[in-house]
Amino acid sequence: MNEDHYESPFSARYASAEMQSLFSPNRKFRTWRRLWIALAEAERELGLPISAEQIAE
Protein backbone atom coordinates (compact mmCIF):
# COMPACT_ATOMS: atom_id res chain seq x y z
CA MET A 1 0.00 0.00 0.00
CA ASN A 2 1.33 3.40 -0.96
CA GLU A 3 1.13 5.67 2.08
CA ASP A 4 1.45 8.83 -0.03
CA HIS A 5 -1.81 8.35 -1.92
CA TYR A 6 -5.32 7.51 -0.78
CA GLU A 7 -6.47 4.26 -2.36
CA SER A 8 -10.02 3.31 -3.17
CA PRO A 9 -11.77 1.96 -6.25
CA PHE A 10 -13.00 5.46 -7.06
CA SER A 11 -9.84 7.45 -6.40
CA ALA A 12 -7.85 5.76 -9.15
CA ARG A 13 -10.61 6.55 -11.59
CA TYR A 14 -11.86 9.97 -10.56
CA ALA A 15 -9.37 11.73 -8.26
CA SER A 16 -6.29 13.61 -9.36
CA ALA A 17 -2.88 12.74 -7.93
CA GLU A 18 -3.01 15.92 -5.85
CA MET A 19 -6.39 14.97 -4.38
CA GLN A 20 -5.15 11.46 -3.57
CA SER A 21 -2.15 13.00 -1.83
CA LEU A 22 -4.38 15.30 0.25
CA PHE A 23 -6.31 12.32 1.63
CA SER A 24 -3.34 9.97 2.02
CA PRO A 25 -2.59 8.21 5.32
CA ASN A 26 0.70 10.10 5.66
CA ARG A 27 -1.01 13.48 5.27
CA LYS A 28 -3.70 12.47 7.74
CA PHE A 29 -1.19 11.41 10.41
CA ARG A 30 0.99 14.50 9.92
CA THR A 31 -2.07 16.73 10.25
CA TRP A 32 -3.19 15.00 13.45
CA ARG A 33 0.34 15.28 14.85
CA ARG A 34 0.43 19.05 14.20
CA LEU A 35 -3.01 19.37 15.80
CA TRP A 36 -1.91 17.54 18.96
CA ILE A 37 1.24 19.66 19.23
CA ALA A 38 -0.77 22.89 18.87
CA LEU A 39 -3.22 21.66 21.50
CA ALA A 40 -0.42 20.78 23.94
CA GLU A 41 1.22 24.18 23.42
CA ALA A 42 -2.08 25.99 24.03
CA GLU A 43 -2.77 23.94 27.15
CA ARG A 44 0.74 24.70 28.41
CA GLU A 45 0.15 28.44 27.89
CA LEU A 46 -3.03 28.12 29.94
CA GLY A 47 -1.05 26.67 32.83
CA LEU A 48 -1.42 22.93 32.49
CA PRO A 49 1.64 20.97 33.59
CA ILE A 50 3.01 20.09 30.14
CA SER A 51 6.77 20.30 29.72
CA ALA A 52 8.63 21.37 26.59
CA GLU A 53 10.13 17.88 26.47
CA GLN A 54 6.67 16.35 26.28
CA ILE A 55 5.76 18.64 23.40
CA ALA A 56 9.02 17.87 21.60
CA GLU A 57 8.31 14.15 21.87
pLDDT of residue 8: 76
Domain holding 41: CATH number?
1.10.275.10
pLDDT of residue 14: 83
pLDDT of residue 1: 55
Residue 7 Rama label (left phi>0; alpha psi -120 to 50; beta): beta
Assess if residue 26 is contained within a domain: yes
Assess if residue 2 is contained within a domain: no
Per-residue pLDDT of 1-34, as tens digits, reads 567 776 777 777 787 888 888 888 899 999 999 9
Assess if residue 52 is contained within a domain: yes
Supply the range of the domain harboring residue 24: 11-56
Distance CA 8, CA 11 (A): 5
Q: What is the DSSP string of 27-55?
A: HHHHHHHHHHHHHHHHHHHTT----HHHH
Contact 23, 6 (CB under 8 A): yes
pLDDT of residue 24: 86
pLDDT of residue 21: 85
Q: Residue 38 above 90 pLDDT?
A: yes
The number of folded domains in the chain is: 1
Assess if residue 6 is contained within a domain: no
